[in-house]
Amino acid sequence: MRGRILVVDDQPEIREVVTLNLEAEGYEVTTAEDVAHARAAFDSGQFVLAILDVMLPDGDGFDLARAIRERSDVPIMMLSARDTDVDKAVGLGVGADDYVTKPFSPIELVARVKAHLRRYASGAAWSAGRADAGRAEEIIEAWPVCIDLARRRVTVRDAEVELTAKEFDLLAMLAEHPACVYTKAQIYERVWGEAAIGDLSTVQVHIRRLRTKIEEHPDEPVLVTTVWGIGYRFEGGAS
């Protein structure tokens, strides 16, 4: 098996067609018809990716995505009949990696699943490579931020902060070279481990989530700042 995927949708025919196409590609599939069963399933096993319907009978797929993202960095794909820019922005804002509108092509859905899993695997390999690099500098101290690269722990103003794997890699990359300004494309290529093509809103979403965790005033960031028209820079330790 190539990994276990969680599929959450209240329509049996959707669950069936997605399951059949994923299993044909060698994936193991666990399905759920509502938020309660999805939460129980996610608590009971390890998944490499989650596909979530937005409108569920006992709750909101966006809230489910947010709950999963708080615990895991696995790719999340949203399914919905709603295709407005607002809905897509909300999906990305809660931590989803993709937004697929219904009706959809099962072949395209499987292709997107494979693409996200490649990105996730590449990013994990990049992170592991950094950990095994044997550099002398294992801790980055730039008050009020302290980053323990070996233990993958971050403290801000002496309080530990819980970051997802991607948020940690993003912060570590920026903090290692505080004088550098990185474009969205450069960040995507280094943290996600794949060439940046097309929409890079996922970088902006991760920057925003990172700021909510490390900044005193996320709407007025002083640690991870925006260099307008170019990209982002780490300002920790600046006087």
CATH number for position 215 = 1.10.10.10
Strands 28-32 and 159-161: unpaired
| Exposure of 31 in the CB half-sphere (CA atoms within 13 A) | 15
Model-wide pTM > 0.85: no
Q: How confident is the model over 112-119, as a mean pLDDT?
A: 83
Residues 88 and 204 in one domain: no
The residue out of 68, 96, 128 marking a domain boundary is: 128
The residue out of 128, 161, 191 marking a domain boundary is: 128
Residue type, 163: L
Residues 111 and 161 in one domain: no
Residues 21 and 102 in one domain: yes
DSSP string across 143-192: TTEEEETTTTEEEETTEEE---HHHHHHHHHHHHSTT--B-HHHHIIIII
Percent of the chain with pLDDT over 90: 45
Q: Per-residue pLDDT tens for 61-102?
A: 999 998 898 888 888 999 988 777 777 777 777 878 888 888
Q: How many domains does one find in the chain?
A: 2
Determine the structural domain holding residue 138 and report its residue range: 134-234
Q: Per-residue pLDDT tens for 33-59?
A: 999 999 999 988 889 999 999 999 999
CA-CA distance, 75 to 65, in Å (whole number)?
Answer: 10
Is residue 46 situated within a structural domain?
Answer: yes
The residue out of 128, 148, 175 marking a domain boundary is: 128
Cβ–Cβ under 8 Å, residues 153 and 160: yes
Is residue 239 situated within a structural domain?
Answer: no
